[in-house]
Copies of this chain bind each other. A is one copy, B any other.
Amino acid sequence: MILERLNVQNESEIDLSSVAALIGEPARALMLTALMDGLALPAGELSELAGISPQTASAHLTKLLEGGLLAVESHGRHRYFSLAGAEVAQALEALMVIAPLHSSKRKLPDPATCYARTCYDHLAGSLGVMLCQSLLERGWLEQNRLELHLTNLGKNKLEGLGLEVKKTGRACLDWTERRHHLAGPLGKALTAHLLERGWLIRSSGRSLRISEAGKKGLALEFGLRL
- Which residues on A are within 8 Å of B, measured CB to CB? 8, 11-12, 14-26, 28-30, 33, 67-69, 84-85, 87-88, 90-102
Residues from chain B with a CB closer than 8 A to the CB of A20 are: 20-24, 29, 95
> A12 contacts B101, CB within 8 Å?
yes
The prevalent SS among residues of A at the interface is helix
Determine how many copies of this chain the complex contains: 2
Contact A17-B12, Cβ < 8 Å, known A95-B91, A98-B69:
no
> A87 contacts B92, CB within 8 Å?
no
Who on chain B is nearest to A84 by CB?
A: B98
Which of B11, B21, B33 is close to A21, meaning CB atoms less than 8 Å apart?
Answer: B21
> A14 contacts B100, CB within 8 Å?
yes
Which of B28, B85, B99 is close to A15, meaning CB atoms less than 8 Å apart?
Answer: B99
Between A and B, 7 residue pairs with Cβ closer than 8 Å are: A12-B101, A19-B98, A19-B99, A20-B24, A22-B24, A24-B24, A87-B94
Who on chain B is nearest to A15 by CB?
A: B102
> B98 contacts A91, CB within 8 Å?
yes
Residues from chain B with a CB closer than 8 A to the CB of A30 are: 17
Which of B15, B24, B94 is close to A18, meaning CB atoms less than 8 Å apart?
Answer: B24
The 9 closest A-B pairs by CB, nearest first: A21-B24, A17-B29, A20-B24, A20-B23, A24-B24, A94-B94, A91-B94, A17-B26, A11-B101
Give complex CA distance A156, B30 in Å.
66
